């Protein structure tokens, strides 16, 4: 099996675990994980089926679409020739492993410190390690935090996950 297949299977198992785990919460608290996990589960299953099925038959395109596609293929080919970089299956597997690590780090952070702290910290960490500027990282983190806070806490009046660290501090 390819690394992509293992990654897709991992994601399917992860989303199933999130769905099952969310039923331990009260009705209001389980809404957010279910709203996110069900579509993600469906998309992961579709991606797995697409990967396992292989290449599809070529669709019939209009003349404009065909010309655009050929032009883009030429541009892509030129860019690839310039870079002369071929990804090996090992490099692909390392990339998927890195992505899995980021997902697991996010889940661990949410479990330990909750959504409202994880969102800005994780965003800044991810963006800075991918060589984005401090200004972009901090403004993106603040925008995400503000969007989540206003949407779920203020407007929907939902209580986000009580983090483990705060439950331990309360006693």
**From the centroid of its chain, how far is CA 144?**
14
Gap between the Cα atoms of 81 and 148, Å rounded: 42
Task: Please determine, for residue 82, whether its predicted confidence score (pLDDT) is greater than 70.
Answer: no
Q: What is the mean pLDDT of residues 62-67?
A: 74
Higher pLDDT, 1 or 130: 130
Q: Using 50, 70 and 90 to split pLDDT, how confident is the model at 104?
A: very high
Q: Say which residues have a Cβ less than 8 Å from residue 66's Cβ, sequence separation at least 6.
A: none
- Residue spans of the domains in the chain: they are 1-54, 88-171
Identify the pLDDT of residue 123.
95
Identify the pLDDT of residue 138.
95
Largest distance between two CA atoms of the chain: 68
Task: Please determine, for residue 54, whether its predicted confidence score (pLDDT) is greater than 70.
Answer: yes
Gap between the Cα atoms of 99 and 133, Å rounded: 21
Gap between the Cα atoms of 79 and 56, Å rounded: 25
Identify the pLDDT of residue 62.
74
Identify the pLDDT of residue 85.
54
DSSP per position, 77-99: HHHHHHHT----HHHHHHHHHHH
Task: Please determine, for residue 86, whether its predicted confidence score (pLDDT) is greater than 80.
Answer: no
Q: Using 50, 70 and 90 to split pLDDT, how confident is the model at 57?
A: low
Identify the pLDDT of residue 100.
94
Gap between the Cα atoms of 42 and 46, Å rounded: 6
Identify the pLDDT of residue 19.
92
Helix or strand (DSSP H, E) at 30: helix 27-53
CB atoms within 10 A of CB 123: 20
pTM: 0.53
């Amino acid at each position: 099996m390819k690394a992509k297949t293992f990654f897709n299977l991992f994601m399917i198992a992860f989303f199933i675990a999130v769905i099952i785990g969310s039923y331990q919460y009260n009705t209001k608290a389980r809404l957010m994980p279910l709203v996110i996990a069900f579509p993600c589960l469906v998309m992961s299953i579709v991606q797995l089926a697409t990967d396992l099925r292989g290449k599809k038959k070529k669709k019939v395109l209009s003349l404009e679409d065909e010309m655009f596609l050929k032009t883009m293929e030429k541009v892509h080919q030129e860019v690839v020739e310039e870079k002369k970089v071929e990804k090996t299956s090992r490099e692909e597997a390392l990339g998927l492993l890195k992505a899995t690590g980021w997902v697991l780090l996010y889940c661990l952070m949410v479990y330990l410190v909750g959504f409202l702290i994880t969102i800005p910290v994780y965003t800044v960490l991810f963006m800075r390690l991918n060589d984005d500027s401090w200004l972009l990282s901090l403004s993106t983190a603040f925008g995400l935090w503000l969007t989540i806070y206003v949407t779920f806490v203020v407007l929907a009046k939902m209580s986000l996950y009580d983090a483990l660290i705060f439950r331990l501090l309360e006693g």
